[in-house]
Amino acid sequence: MKVTVRMTKVDARTLARLARIDKDLLHPIRHRSEKAQADLTMLRARDALVQVRTKLINCARGLVKSVGRRLPGASGEYFAKKVREHIPAELCDALTPVLDQIEQLSTQLRDYDKRIEQVAKTDYAPTTLMRQIPGVGAITSLAFTLTIEDPHRFGRSRDIAGYLRLLPRQGDSGGSKPQLSITKAGDGAVREVLVQAALTLLTRVHRWSALKAWGMAVAKRRGLRRAIVAVARKLAIIMHRMWADTTTFNWSRETVALA
């Protein structure tokens, strides 16, 4: 459920009085720079196109399935090219425009990826350090950099997990205090790319690292879903520490100790 909070005149007057008495009673808001906001908008626009392409792909699959046929598996980038010949003849006229739109979106997304790669390389040097971590690419590192913007805002790297809402909630019912899921509040975009990076690290990266070994141990004890969130939290902490100290990624067990 999405809750919209609107400030009334009474709220504004109360804030003004508090500021007049003691401004330290209020927490100042830190605005992003205009360039950071513009580059972050580019990432969000790309994400919107990815969502549209995913919906069109699911639509095509569902419509073909409704006549008793199935489309072969394919990544989003090459979906249109791979499935054209598998579209039933009676659905070609209806689905050809959908496949054309999917192909056009894939072309636009490739252009976005090139621009993001160039922006990260030329304007945001910390992303080069962060991309040493297995599973972290240009989009993840750039989204993290633009969201945090200044690593020295946080006294401890562990505070990043709370800022990104990657910490689990703690239930309290009688004598039981179970660990609940994360709140999913705050900036969901950077949290999503961190989760994707964690999933890539655990399921696709074959090179050993202490971080991967730690994540696999969590998955064995508590399941893959919890391990992905735990690794995403650890990634945010390590990325912040590397950024603040300008250090390289350590593949040994010292990486986990650092976090």
Place of tokens 């508590």: 222
Which residue bears the tokens 């945090």? Answer: 148
Residue type, 64: V
The whole-number pLDDT of residue 1 equals 41
143 CB neighbour count, 10 Å cutoff: 26
pLDDT at 7: 61
pLDDT of residue 3: 41
pLDDT at 160: 86
Residues comprising the chain, all counted: 259
- pLDDT, block means (10 residues), the chain with 259 residues: 56 78 69 86 94 95 92 90 91 93 95 95 92 92 91 85 75 60 68 92 89 92 90 92 88 54
| CB-CB contact of 20 with 137 (8 Å) | no
User: Residue by residue, what is the 3-state secondary structure of 40-99?
Assistant: HHHHHHHHHHHHHHHHHHHHHHHHHHCCCCCCCCCCCCCHHHHHHHHCCHHHHHHHHHHH
pLDDT at 15: 74
pLDDT of residue 102: 95
CA 197 to chain centre: 8
Q: What is the model's pLDDT at position 259?
A: 45
Distance of CA 39 to the CA centre of its chain: 15
* Cα–Cα distance measured from residue 77 to residue 53, given in angstroms and rounded to the nearest whole number: 9
